[in-house]
Amino acid sequence: QKEVEQDPGPLSVPEGAIVSLNCTYSNSAFQYFMWYRQYSRKGPELLMYTYSSGNKEDGRFTAQVDKSSKYISLFIRDSQPSDSATYLCAMNSGGYQKVTFGIGTKLQVIP
């Protein structure tokens, strides 16, 4: 079993839809959770960074962490074609610790 499981997709949604992206993990030591957006042939761009359980909102993006279920989510409201990219979840147990990535979910927002 992988430490972090993420559905690779692809996920296609119409413009304006609410997108839900998810990851599950098995390592209970993970405390820091991140979502990255990666466009083709580019390095990942940090979208959200959260610590422990709870919600965090930034513009159209909301990150949720449920440590009891070992489940994290990223919601994108009012999705735009420019949101089309691969979204990677990532997590680690603390500062300077190795970050473990999900495989990434490829999202396509159709105009």
* 103 touching another protein, by CB under 8 A: yes
* 55 to 94: interface string for another protein, x by CB under 8 A: ---------------------------------x-----x
From the CB of 103, what's the least distance to another protein, in Å? 4
Rounded CA-CA distance 73/24 in Å is: 9
List the interface residues with another protein, window 13-52 (CB under 8 A): 32, 34, 36, 41-46, 49
Residues 6 or more apart in contact with residue 93 via CB below 8 angstroms: 27, 29, 30, 31, 32
Rounded CA-CA distance 1/63 in Å is: 24
62-66 contact pairs (CB < 8 A, 24+): 63/33, 63/35, 65/33
From the CB of 75, what's the least distance to another protein, in Å? 20
Binding site for another protein (CB under 8 A): 8, 32, 34, 36, 41-46, 49, 88, 94-99, 101-104
